[in-house]
C-alpha cells in the first residue's frame, strides 16, 4: 500500500522552530524581511532611507521623518509579549490538526488565559481574512450545516434558537479528490444570503453540486452552474457519493471542535471554522506554514481585544 502524501510529508519540527526563531533577534529579523522584502519603505512617502531609534525600536524616515515600528498596523500591534512567544503560538496553532484551545495554549507558552485567548483569536482572524480572499473553483460540493444543539424552548430543527447556520463547500480536482474547503457562517439559508456568499467565495463558471435546498439555486448569481440532487432525509441522504467529501469534512471538523473546545460562542464560530479550513487548504505545505502565515499576519490590520470579543463576522 502506498503511503499517504499528506501524512508522510516532510513536516516542521519544534527543533527546527527553535533553530530558526528561538531568539528575539531571529524573530525580529524574520519579520523585517517579510514586511519589507526589498528593504524598508516609508508608509507615508515611500522613501527607502531611514534611521533606527534603538531606545524606542522605531524606524524613522530620513525624508519625511515619519516614525513606525516593525509591528505597527499589523495583527501584532501593541503587543507586550516577546516575539518568540508569538512564533511558538503560531507554530502550535498552524501545526495542530485538531485545533488547540486557548487553555492549552496558555499552558504551552506560559501566559495568562486572557492573553492566550486574545493571541489565538488574533491568529484565527488572520486565517479567516486570508481564506476569505481565496475563491473556490472547479467542481464544488455544497451543503448546509448547523452548529449547536436544541434548546427546550419549543423550537426544533432549523428553527432552534441555539443553532448557528453555516455553509460548507469543498472543491475537487479532475480525479474527484478534495483540493480546498470553505466554511462560512451565514445569517440563514435564504436566496439573498446564499447569493451574497456565492459571489464572494465562488469563481465564475464553477459547477456546484448541492442537495435540493431551494436557496442553493442562488449560486447562479455568481455565474456558476448548479446541479441539484434530491437526497431525501435520514442516514441515506449523507451517504451519497456526490456529497462524500463535503460530508466527510463536516464530520471531521465537528468532531475536532467538539473534542478540543469546551464551548464556542456562536459569534466567534466564523474564526473557529476558518482555523480548520486554513490548515486543511495548506496541508501539503507544513514546512512553509510559519513564514507564509507571518507574511499575511504582517498585512492583517490590528484587531484589539475589545473588537475580538464583539466581532460577529459573516463569510
pLDDT, averaged per 10 consecutive residues of the chain (315 residues), comes to 69 93 97 95 92 92 94 94 98 93 96 96 96 96 87 54 90 94 95 97 97 94 94 64 92 94 90 96 91 96 85 67
Domain co-membership, 173 together with 65? no
Asked if residue 277 belongs to a domain, the reply is yes
Kindly report the number of other CB atoms within 10 A of residue 244's CB atom: 15
CA distance 297 to 149: 34
Phi/psi for 119 (5° steps) reads -60, -45
What is the domain extent for residue 47?
38-70
Helix (H, G, I), strand (E, B) or coil at 142: strand
Residues 183 and 272 both lie in one domain? yes
CA 126, CA 302: separation in Å to the nearest integer? 10
In a domain, 309, yes or no: no
Distance CA 217, CA 219 (A): 5
Total domain count, the chain: 2
- Whether 87 is in a domain gets the answer no
Residues 6+ apart with CB under 8 A from 139: 171, 172, 176, 206, 207, 209
Q: Are residues 173 and 61 in the same domain?
A: no
Residues 168 and 253 in one domain: yes
Residue 238: give its domain's CATH number: 3.30.420.10
Q: What is the C-alpha to C-alpha distance for residues 207 and 131, in angstroms, rounded to an integer?
A: 20
Q: Any residues with CB less than 8 A from the CB of 149 and at least 6 apart, and which?
A: 160, 162, 163
* Assigned domain for 264 exists: yes
Q: Could you identify the residue written with the cell 479532475?
A: 174
Same domain, 190 and 61: no
Beta strand 139-147 with 67-68 is unpaired
Amino acid 2: pLDDT: 65
- H/E stretch holding 147 reads strand 139-147
First to last CA, the chain: 40
The pLDDT score that the predictor gives to residue 282 is: 93
**Residue 155 has what pLDDT?**
56
Domain assignment of residue 32, yes or no: no
Let me know whether 174 and 260 are in one domain.
Answer: yes
What DSSP assignment string belongs to 46-87? ----EEEETTTTEEEETTT--EE-SSTTSTTTT--S-HHHHH
In-domain check, residue 96: no
Radius of gyration of the chain (CA): 22
Domain assignment present for residue 127? The answer is no
Based on the fold, state whether residues 58 and 144 are members of the same structural domain. no
Q: How far is CA 274 from the centre of its chain?
A: 3
The answer to whether residue 258 sits within a structural domain is yes
Task: Give the whole-angstrom CA distance, residue 300 versus residue 308.
Answer: 14
Amino acid at each position: 500500500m502506498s503511503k499517504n502524501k499528506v501524512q508522510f510529508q516532510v513536516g516542521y519540527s519544534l527543533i527546527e522552530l527553535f533553530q530558526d526563531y528561538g531568539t528575539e533577534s531571529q524573530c525580529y529579523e524574520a519579520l523585517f524581511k517579510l514586511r519589507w522584502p526589498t528593504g524598508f519603505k516609508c508608509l507615508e512617502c515611500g522613501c527607502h532611507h531611514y534611521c533606527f531609534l534603538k531606545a524606542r525600536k522605531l524606524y524613522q524616515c530620513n525624508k519625511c521623518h515619519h516614525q513606525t515600528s516593525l509591528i505597527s498596523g499589523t495583527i501584532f500591534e501593541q503587543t507586550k509579549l516577546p516575539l518568540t512567544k508569538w512564533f511558538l503560538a503560531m507554530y502550535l496553532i498552524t501545526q495542530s490538526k485538531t485545533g488547540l484551545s486557548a487553555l492549552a495554549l496558555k499552558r504551552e507558552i506560559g501566559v495568562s488565559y486572557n492573553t492566550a485567548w486574545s493571541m489565538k483569536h488574533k491568529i484565527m482572524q488572520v486565517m479567516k481574512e486570508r481564506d476569505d480572499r481565496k475563491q473556490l473553483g472547479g467542481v464544488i460540493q455544497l451543503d448546509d450545516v448547523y452548529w449547536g444543539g436544541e434548546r427546550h424552548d419549543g423550537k426544533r430543527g432549523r428553527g432552534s434558537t441555539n443553532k448557528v447556520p453555516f455553509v460548507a463547500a469543498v472543491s475537487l480536482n479532475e480525479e474527484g479528490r478534495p483540493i480546498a474547503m470553505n466554511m462560512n457562517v451565514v445569517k440563514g439559508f435564504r436566496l439573498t444570503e446564499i447569493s451574497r456568499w456565492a459571489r464572494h467565495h465562488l469563481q465564475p463558471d464553477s459547477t456546484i453540486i448541492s442537495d435540493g435546498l431551494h436557496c442553493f439555486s442562488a449560486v447562479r448569481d455568481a455565474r456558476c452552474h448548479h446541479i441539484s440532487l434530491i437526497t431525501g432525509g435520514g442516514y441515506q441522504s449523507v451517504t451519497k457519493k456526490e456529497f462524500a467529501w463535503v460530508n466527510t469534512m463536516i464530520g471531521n471538523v465537528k468532531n475536532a471542535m467538539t473534542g478540543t473546545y469546551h464551548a464556542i460562542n456562536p459569534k466567534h464560530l466564523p474564526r473557529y471554522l476558518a482555523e480548520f479550513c486554513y490548515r486543511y487548504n495548506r496541508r501539503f505545505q507544513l514546512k512553509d506554514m510559519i513564514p507564509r502565515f507571518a507574511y499575511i499576519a504582517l498585512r492583517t490590520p490590528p484587531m484589539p481585544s475589545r473588537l475580538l470579543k464583539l466581532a460577529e463576522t459573516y463569510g
